[in-house]
Chain A
Amino acid sequence: MCLHDNYKNMKTDIILAGVGGQGILSIANVIGMAAIEAGLYIKQAEVHGMSQGGGDVQSNLRISDKEIASDLIPQGQCNMILSVEPMESLRYVPMLASDGWLVTNTKPFNNITNYPDIKDVLHEIHSISNNIAIDAEQLAKEIGSVRSANMVILGAASPFLGIEVELLKKSIAGVFKSKGEKIVNLNLKAFAVGEQIAKKKITDDKLS
């Protein structure tokens, strides 16, 4: 395996967050395959078992050009929280490095009786300076594939992952290959929508 020079001293620690059943592992698969393609080391701690059904779930995904020691990310060292649910994105903020990114879907998954006011949730999300908060479901719906919402979020996270975007796209094609070309293309389109939003955010931040 040859390691591209671009990946020297590469380290991206990601917490993927969501609610059991929302499919955070599909995002992890795409990133993981791209990382392997880049010749990087990865470790990915998943959650299986009782906590799956409707409860909070998270996965620690670690990528590096050097061998990784711990399956768990140390507190305050995480480079990105990538969440498919807004309140769940906040559960892990003590783990997020001060310059880390919080990328989240804004559409609540409301299966508890005491779900907070979404305005308060969004307020907390925006209090983290490096954040991208998007209604991924709405955006996915607009391109005709509500089931690709997770790829919209992945697209929005893509500039900060430290992995070449082309590899991520290749990986999407690989992960969804068995579902046919149409599904692959919809997911790639969803990814592009997210990526555009992130790029715009970067430009806007530079201007302001």
Chain B
Amino acid sequence: MKKLMLLGDEAIAQGAIDAGISGAYAYPGTPSTEIMEYIMNSNDSKEKHIRYGWSANEKTAMEAALGMSYAGKRVLVSMKHVGLNVAADAFINSAITGANGGLVVLVADDPSMHSSQNEQDSRFYGRFAMIPILEPSSQQEAYDMMIYAFDISEKFGIPVLIRIGTRLAHSRAGVETHEAREQNEIKLPSEPSQFILLPGNARKRYKLLLRNQALFESESENSTFNSYIDGTDKSLGIITCGIAYNYLMENYPDRNIPYPIVKIDQYPIPHNHIEKIYNACDELLVLEDGYPIVEELLKGFLETGKKIKGRLDGSLPRDGELTPNIVGKALGRNFEATRPIPEIVKGRPPQLCKGCPHIFTYQALNDALAEYTRGRVFSDIGCYTLGAMEPFEAINTCVDMGASITMAKGAADAGFTPAVSVIGDSTFTHSGMTGLLDAVNDKSSITVFILDNATTAMTGGQKSSATGKIEDICEALGVEKEHIHVLDPLPKNHDANMEVFKEEIAYKGVSVIIPRRECIQTVAKRIKLEKKLKELEVQL
């Protein structure tokens, strides 16, 4: 047994390694990125020949994971919450095929949208797919749950969803690890047609999934991750989900809470505990980080039962992540602010790094578009989304991975030309290629800027699937060769670049401009590494 200081993400990664995974798949996305990074940097994974590395997107990651599970091996696939939207087709259907080798889908939600475009709650997806969900409340639980998750995945032949949030993902604490389990041997599913979802098979598999709900529920009722903690004051019962339990505890420094508590860290919701607390208490308060899922279920549409308090009745805010203060307020225990923030303190939003190549691309793009009315630039998810801010104000949309190209196409099809897309290299291979194919097939009049900084920059510089392939991909998708340009976005090239931009923006058809320059952060890291290697060489 070892004790390590781990981020929640790292505890999950180490837990998966110790649970005997043979592979891990992921696409980078805050707050889930550090899971794969840990596995990539771990000596364990190299010694055990665990497959790791970045996939082109979350769907390809999910499907590869399902394939490894098909072959009988344990596998982890991790992503951020909106990534599960991309992987949803494979994810929902994996509940029908079931798992062979243990399959754990780790999704990191982002309540309060620290680094995301929404705060959707992945527990909905788990319910939608009708599979067991685990929601750890601490780094230690996150580690322990990985081992358990793989066990029940194999016990029931079902993928298991683990849901964490930014806070747990990015907070560090001591974690005790256990002996690692051996990896599985290759072994195909005992039922050969299990993974052939023709309607005839799918109907059978779906009925099995429905029958298994009772097993999942009984597993959840008997799970040590769910508990009923009695209290003397029955005027209120408190139900906590995942990390919300910690905020409740924080409000009672001596840890003596007068009210009965049900701590839920595993779903389906444990009926036995809920029934017990409902019968014992006058009213209930539900504390959950994310959407009011448990609260809404307990409340019911007609609200005929006891009073259920939470996010829906205003006891807690309807949106945003929970904090000790917010939970305290719902319990009438205020943590008072000692002083206001002085008025002179100004906001300091994130910004593009000094010398970032995107800066020069946006300067030239703004100048190239000066002759047209505004509102023509459809952008995407990445560092370059910061181009929406001052001083650039260069982009007009940011919706989901790949939407820059397809939205520009739709606007152009509507007659709003010129329409411009701005997308990063990694986002392009994640979800931009198919949209570009649509535009080529329709001869839509759009100009696509693929900002190639040779990395997935916003999440900290992970390897991009696009590197070295972009022009070839565009050409193969049917973009005319003479309308594909690779440029170096530097201030000294401003005028020349702007001329090319102008020309292509005026062109009635699909053109692609690739401003190519390595991310300034990756350059700095590379130079540092090269220097270190040189020093080592000298020493040797």
Interface residues of A (CB under 8 A from B): 19-20, 32, 36, 41-56, 60, 68-77, 87-88, 90-91, 93-98, 100, 111-117, 120-121, 124, 128
Contact = CB atoms under 8 A, between A and B. Distances in A.
Interface stretch (B343-351, B402-410, B486-494): B343-351
Contacts of B189: none
Given A87-B346, A94-B338, A116-B344, A75 B325 contact: yes
B351 to A, nearest CB: 4
A162 B34 CA distance: 31
Contact of A43 (B172, B337, B352): B172
Nearest to A20: B350
A116 B346 contact: yes
Contact of B338 (A73, A98, A114): A98
Contact of A93 (B251, B341, B346): B341
A20 B385 CA distance: 18
Contacts of A88: 348
A69 B263 CA distance: 14
A90 to B, nearest CB: 5
Contacts of B340: 93-94
A166 to B, nearest CB: 21
A114 B346 CA distance: 7
Contacts of B328: 74
B335 A77 contact: yes
Contacts of A75: 323-325, 335-337
Interface residues of B, number: 50
A72 B323 contact: yes
Given A55-B349, A93-B340, 8 more contacts: A53-B352, A68-B173, A75-B336, A87-B348, A93-B341, A93-B342, A94-B341, A115-B346
A50 B167 contact: no
12 contacts: A43-B171, A47-B114, A48-B30, A48-B31, A53-B352, A54-B353, A55-B349, A72-B247, A93-B339, A96-B338, A96-B339, A121-B344
Contacts of A42: 5, 172-174
A91 B251 CA distance: 24
Query: Chain B at the A interface: mostly helix, strand, loop or mixed?
Result: loop
A89 B231 CA distance: 41
Interface in B242-267: 243, 246-247, 249-251, 255
A42 B174 CA distance: 7
Given A69-B246, A75-B337, A46 B170 contact: yes
A120 B336 CA distance: 25
B172 A70 contact: no
B460 to A, nearest CB: 7
Contacts of B171: 43-46, 60, 71
Contacts of A97: 338
Nearest to B9: A48
B167 A51 contact: no
B114 to A, nearest CB: 7
Nearest to B386: A53
B383 interface: yes
Nearest to A41: B174
B344 A124 contact: yes
A49 B115 contact: yes
B511 interface: no
B379 interface: no
A115 to B, nearest CB: 7
Of A43, A98, A111, which is in contact with the most chain B CB atoms at under 10 Å from its CB? A43
B348 A111 contact: yes
Contacts of A120: 344
